[in-house]
Every structure is written in structure tokens, then in C-alpha cells.
Amino acid sequence: MWLLIGALAAVAVAGLAACLDAALARISPVRAAEMVEHGVPGAARLERITADPARYFNLVLLVRVVCELSAAVLVTMVSVHQWGLTWYAGAFATAVMAVVSYVAVGVGPRTLGRQHAPRVALAGSSLLLLLSRLLNPLIRALIVLGNALTPGRGFREGPFATEAELRALVDIAEQHSEIEADERRMVHSIFELGDTLVREVMVPRTDMIFIERGKTLRQALTLALRSGFSRIPVVGENTDDVLGIVYLKDLAGRVHEHHAGESTEMVESVMRPATYVPDSKHADELLRDMQAQRIHLAVVIDEYGGTAGLVTIEDILEEIVGEITDEYDQGREPVQWLGRPGDLLSGARVTARLGLDELGELFGRDLEDEDVETVGGLLAKALGKVPIPGASVAVAGLSLVAESAEGRRRRVGTILVRELPEEKSGD
């Protein structure tokens, strides 16, 4: 009888530990600080716990494991006393403890802890702080022993709050309608950002808009207005030689103050220093650096020292929140005839992503190309550079004119396509 009473007491303590563990997981340092500001009794102790969560989570885990094992041993001793050293005595003890641990430790207490997190956390904070003073040396020793037996570097505070566990909690919260599906995806994106390299989010070199150092302020201002970019890299001999960044507001301010110099003064006179980052840098680390240094754009350098592309804060934020658009971005039909449908001379407005085969069917042309697959790609290849609104070229008897720039990266979104008259397409 005393063994059974001891087992029940151990299960009760394990359940309380599980309840406290679930409650602490739902209390953030910010919430604890708010309780302190509102004068909630015991909130100061809870704030101390949330300031060093790993230490106290490890303590709760130790208490729960010890109590569950103790209960299992006591129930096994009762079974052996009743039936002797037989297989069904062991099976009975295993079955009983599996059910009891699952219900009385795994489900019930955790549910209560999550439903009444503030009250449970406040109630258990005093005892937790006391146990921490007594058992913390033992916990530290056990973590050191575990790390010594585990291949690799191990974890200084113990691996008891893993990313996988946090992801699972987010998924469960969404399933129970605690958060929306978009919020769940955003949280997962934040975790993934730490594993994302700059080269995965940057604007590639082939999509960069840049200006040569010898161009005038007027030419730079015109390029900024036509392309829609407020920051443009300034290059020297080639794209690998990025000298700095010119800002639209600097151009406008200089032209306004010294109007006569817009045609004589060079763009390099108003450019700002460029920030360079390796393409192997992690995106989350770069985001922190850009916030600290108050920079918006950085030039990405590959392993050979050449320009791989450029990256902005928006490129990194899009990895978390998804595509960022503005009020000028509109959904368009793939093909809009400017005159009567099928009027090739009047032409059509097509999206830059329209396939070459589809355009060829519309205008009765063979537009197959081994290097590109879209109308936008064909325009860029014919121009030999990144197209901006107003750029035009003639290809296979068709006139292609870049019409509008869309999206935050200001890529050409629509292209006007017309059939050239016979006398102008005689090659």
C-alpha cells in the first residue's frame, strides 16, 4: 500500500512539473514585464525565470523525469511482490505506467498549464526558484555528462528547447485556431531565414540596373525616373567595379541647388559609398547588420571577388512576409489586344512572362530560342542589357517595346508587341 501511495505521489509531482512546463512555455519575457508593471504578486519572480528560461526548463524536466521513473519503479515493485519475477508482472507495470503517464502527465496537466498559463506560472515560480538554488549544480553536471557522451559540440544549456519543438507548437496552435495559417507560415519563415544565404534572396547581376561613373546628373536622374529605382549602383570599367550608390534624393537635391550642373557634373560627385557583403552570408545576420548600420542596399560579392548581385532589406523581408507590392502593381491579363482581336498592326499588350511559343502563335511567327523562354527574356537578349520602360527592339518582324515596370524590383511587367510593316521588316 505504501508503495502505491508513493507511486501516486510521484505521478502527481510529475504532472505538476508538466503543467508548469507548459505554462512557462506560454509566458514570454514581455508578458512577465507587463505583469510587473501592473503590480501582479509574484510577477518579479516570474520575470527572473523568463530571463533565463533554459535553466528552469531543464530543472522542470529533471523533476518530471525523476518522478516518472520513481513511479514506474514503485509500480514494478508492487507487481513483482504480487506475482513474482514473471513476464506478466513486468507487462502489467509497463501498461499501467504507460496509461498513467500519458493521461496524468502528458495530456491533462499540459492542457491545464496552457489554459491557465499566468496563474500556474505565478504559483510555481517561488518553488522553482528554490529548487534551482538546490539542484542547479546537479543539472549542470548532467548536461556536461550528456554533451561528453554525445558526438559533436553539444549544447551548453541543454537541447531541451529545439527548433523542431517550437515549429511543432506553432503547427498545433494553428490546428487549434490560436493563430492564422499566414501567421504560422510567417513563423516558419523566420526559422528558415537563419539557414538562408544572401545569394538565395539577392537580385542577380543580370537583373541589376546600374549607371557608369561618367554619366551626367541629368542622365542619372532620367534613368532613376524611368526605371523606378531610388538607389542605383555606380560602376567604373564594368559591373564588377561597383564604386558606390547614387540616391535619387541626392540627384534631385543637387540638380535643384545647382541647375546648371545637371548636364556637366558627373554622377560620381554625388554617389555614396557602397556596402559589400559576401554571397555566403546568412540572411538573418545581414538583416541585423543593415538595421544597425542604417543601410538599405548592399552589393553582393561572389567567391572570386566579382559582383554577384545586390540585396535590399525588402529582399530579406519578403522571405518572411511574402511578395511586397505597391499601389502601382495590378493584375493583368496575359494578352490584351490594342485594337480588334487579331489586328497584328495595332498589336497587343502582353505580360513579360508570356511564353515565346504563345507569342509566336498570336503573331504567326517562329520565335523559338535556346537561351530564353519568355517575351521579357527575348527583349533583354535583343537589347543586351536589362530592359527599362521605353526600351524597344525589332525581332523577327515584330516591334517589342517595354511599357511598364512593376513590383518592388521594378522589372518590366508588360510589353507592347506590334507587327512591323513589310517595308520595315524586309530582312
CB 271 within 8 Å of CB 243: yes
Side chain identity, residue 289 = D
How far is it, in rounded angstroms, from Cα 49 to Cα 127?
Answer: 11
Cβ proximity of 173 and 114 under 8 Å = no
Predicted local confidence at residue 70, as pLDDT: 92
Residue 333: per-residue pLDDT: 67
Select the more confidently predicted residue: 29 or 155.
29
- Cα separations in angstroms, 159 against 58, 139, 294: 9, 13, 35
Please tell me which of 36-45, 254-263, 406-415 the model is most confident about, judged by mean pLDDT: 36-45
Residue bearing the bigger pLDDT, 110 or 52: 110
Q: Give tens-digit pLDDT for 346-379.
A: 777 787 777 777 877 777 777 777 777 777 788 7
Does the pLDDT value for residue 111 go beyond 60? Answer: yes
Collect all residues with Cβ–Cβ distance below 8 Å to 112 and sequence separation of at least 6.
19, 22, 120
- Model-level pTM? 0.49
Q: Strand 398-406's sheet: what is its strand order?
A: 335-337, 348-351, 411-419, 398-406, 392-395
Residues in Cβ contact with 288 at an 8 Å cutoff, skipping those fewer than 6 apart: none
What is the residue type of 344? L
